[in-house]
Amino acid sequence: MADDVKPLGCVILADAHHSVLESVRGLLDSMFATVVMVTDQESLMETAKAMSPEMVVLDLSLPRSISGNVIKRVVQEVPGVRILALTMDDDPKVIKQVLASGALAVVVKAMAGTDLIAAIQQVHAGNRYVSPSVPIEIDSTNVT
């Protein structure tokens, strides 16, 4: 980000794969004042409740350690948090389910290098975002 642009607040990056954590963190470090990395759902919930982050970037394949839909739980238990989901799956049905769960954005991992920054900017503005490679139409207008 430019020197005159204030970074966003806190983001939690939740992914079980350390190589993904490190590569995505590289993108997030320049946009957020604080980047916290977790590797499972239980740690995500504990950290999110304690820190009240502005955003959570969540891998949909994060190991399940809690019951229920983790996206719904984060949204319910951490007021004001915005969820951006990362996925290997570009099936429009899956993407629609993720958005219906409360995520504002879905980025296909293979496109994270090109799509993640745009997705974060849209989510920060309160808009929805889906990787352009996914054949789906969404209402991307402000949802907050």
Each of the 144 residues of the chain gets a pLDDT tens digit; together they read: 444 455 789 999 999 888 888 888 988 998 999 999 999 999 999 999 999 999 999 999 887 766 678 999 999 999 999 999 999 988 999 999 999 999 999 999 888 889 999 999 999 999 999 999 998 877 665 455
pLDDT recorded at residue 1: 45
Overall pTM > 0.95: no
Domain boundaries, the chain: 8-127
pLDDT of residue 75: 94
List the CATH code of the domain at 8-127.
3.40.50.2300
According to the model, what pLDDT value does residue 20 have? Answer: 80
Give the dihedral sign, CA 19/25/16/85: negative
Q: Shortest CA distance to 137 belongs to which of 107, 96, 100?
A: 96
Which amino acid belongs to residue 54? E
Q: Is 140 exposed, middle or buried (0-12, 13-18, 19+ CB in 10 A)?
A: middle
How many other C-beta atoms can be found within 10 angstroms of the C-beta atom of residue 95?
22
CA neighbor of 57 nearest in space, from 6, 111, 104, 114: 104
